[in-house]
Structure 1
């Protein structure tokens, strides 16, 4: 029984690490120009990804924001951000899941795993 539990934990850990590493590359390619290599954003134009409170409160919306973009003003730490985030409608669900794992577990965030099935469910809710 212990061996089975250990192998499941190892597989979950490997999956998480794979999502995280792939997400980092996808973030660098698709998100870093605006949100920065350190996730601190760009002035009041592009919001930081360093605010765990905002990311936790909006985790179910992140897939929608990444896929469809966002044009409405958001406020993080009492700072209003007006910049428009373009849609990334060419990203597959797995890519979005990997980006979310990366951003929600980097820059001071620690939110654990988020998989492709959760992305599909969250995207269905935003359409």
Structure 2
């Protein structure tokens, strides 16, 4: 048998283990990677933040985990990390990229990545607000709450939309 017959099954097994892990979030809470609620939110907004974060985690696992991984680490030099990523400081750009994708170079934490992130035109403003709230507040990130109104407003100004 050729080397191909050993490598492909090993890579597929590794991918399935990382991308298909269906933990319920308990592991994230135990590791301290659950949401860190932003300071200054009133009770109603805090509840909405937690709801968005939880729904965002589910959507992330559906749409993003295959490339960005369960822990937000990305894939070596191919896919940029989301965990601790300085790129997330520009939430407007993040929201536009979730919806419209991106092609070409991007610098994250001083490392240049050159690839394609596919668009997700099926995602609505609420879905994007939830995913953004999740990634901006998972893995030690502290990016705050993104409301559906904010996401909708930002999506109407994305350069990709025009």
Pair in the same fold by TM > 0.5: yes
| Unaligned segments of structure 1, at least 5 residues | 1-7
C-alpha distance in structure 1 between counterparts of 2:46 and 2:157, whole Å: 28
Counterpart in 1 of 2:133? Answer: 101
Note the aligned Cα RMSD (angstroms): 1.2
More helix by share: 1
2:147 aligned residue? 115
1:67 corresponding residue in structure 2: 99
CA contact (8 A) 1:52 1:108 kept: no
2: CA distance, partners of 1:88 / 1:52: 21
Number of residue pairs the alignment of both structures matches? 119
Say if 1:80 and 1:61 are closer, same or farther in 2 by CA, change over 3 A. Answer: same
Pick aligned residue for 1:33 from 35, 59, 66: 66
Aligned residues of 2:67 and 2:74 also touching (Cα < 8 A): yes
What's the secondary structure of 1:54's corresponding residue?
Answer: helix
Tell me: CA distance 1:52–1:79, structure 2 relative to 1, closer, same or farther (3 Å).
closer
Runs of 4+, deviation exceeding 6 Å: none
CA drift at 1:52: 4.2
**Cα distance in 1 between the residues matched to 2:85 and 2:113:** 17
- For 2:55, the equivalent position in structure 1 comes to 22
Point out the structure with max Rg over C-alpha: 2
TM score, norm. by length of structure 2? 0.70
User: How many Å separate the matches in 2 of 1:11 and 1:108?
Assistant: 23
